[in-house]
Amino acid sequence: MNSYIRKIRKFFLIWDFEKEEDWLNEMSQNGWSLASVGLGTYSFIKADPGEYTIRLHMHSKDDEYLDIMRGSGAEYIGRIGSWVYFKRRAELESFDVFSDLDSKLEHLGSISRFLMIAGGVNLYLGEMNSLGQASRIAWINLVAACFLMYGLGRIHGKAEELKKQRLLHE
Amino acid sequence: MESLSLTESTYYILLCLHEPQHGYGIMQETAYLSKGRVKLAAGTLYGALVAMIEKGWIIQLPYGDNERKKEYKLTAQGIAVLRNEIRRLEELVDNGHKVLGGEL
């Protein structure tokens, strides 16, 4: 086992993306910089403690976007589904992906749309399966739908907080 | 013409695109014009560019011979939106000075 590389299995829920980011930055503070991502797996390489700031968010794959990110000094790490991971040297000024409330709300809106579609598909499959003989699968779909709706509620809560701020500020 | 106010990010992006400019150039020029106060983040800038193209305020220029990066520029409609906003801002500043200066 190479002592400069560490692989960790960990799983975060979509609506806990801020916790995921906090954890990745904690790893960076401890000298482990995110090098690649996979479904439920994170690979780190040894780096100076706090050398990099990690940011993750939902975004479509787009060369122009990667160009703008690279222009601002960020490195693309990888993606899981529609979630992209970037890092930037912390010595540069603070690294944010969204610099105003409107774009933060827009980002939460994309996550909501994803959860709504995923929840809707599960609800539909649950109903279809419950009509046939596959009642156990129907239950799995319905539980998944409820879970995704719970996530939608969590994202909605975050959005409401931001909207309150926007009453007085841009 | 929409009478809604522009966000600070939108305003500066439009202003930067008075001359053709690429994505990262907009971030740099905004920081320069605002003396470092307004820092456009990449996600915010990208989302705004996509929305402004849809509205017809800016266009993406065809690639030149030596260019690798996409450049954007204001359209006539974009200039009108910007002028409208400048008038609105002037009114705000004007009234602010008048009221605090005791003229009203």
Domain membership of residue B1 (yes or no) is no
B85: left (phi over 0), alpha (psi -120 to 50) or beta: alpha
Q: What is the mean pLDDT of residues B14-38?
A: 96
Kindly report, residue by residue over B39-85, the tens digit of the pLDDT: 999 999 999 999 999 999 999 998 776 667 789 999 999 999 999 99
B48–A103: do the CB atoms touch at under 8 Å?
A: yes
Domain membership of residue B35 (yes or no) is yes
Domain membership of residue B3 (yes or no) is no
Residues of chain A neighbouring B44 (CB-CB closer than 8 A): 97-100, 102-103
**Residue A63 vs residue A119, higher pLDDT:** A119
Q: Which residue range is the domain that position B61 belongs to?
A: 8-100
Give the count of beta carbons closer than 10 Å to the beta carbon of residue A89.
14
Query: What value of ipTM does the predicted structure carry?
Result: 0.88
Residues of chain B neighbouring A69 (CB-CB closer than 8 A): 42
Which of A99-103, A129-133, B66-70 tops mean pLDDT? A99-103
Domain membership of residue B24 (yes or no) is yes
A106–B23: do the CB atoms touch at under 8 Å?
A: no
Cβ-based neighbours of A29, under 8 Å, separated by 6 or more: A49, A50
Arithmetic mean of pLDDT over chain B: 92
Q: How many domains does chain B have?
A: 1
Nearest to A68 among B9, B38, B46 (CB): B46
Q: How far apart are CA A85 and CA A57, in angstroms?
A: 7
pLDDT of B2 above 70: no
Tell which residue, A53, A37, A42, has the closest CA to residue A87.
A53
- Can you give the residue ranges of every domain in chain A? 5-89, 101-166
> Which CATH number goes with the domain that contains B65?
1.10.10.10
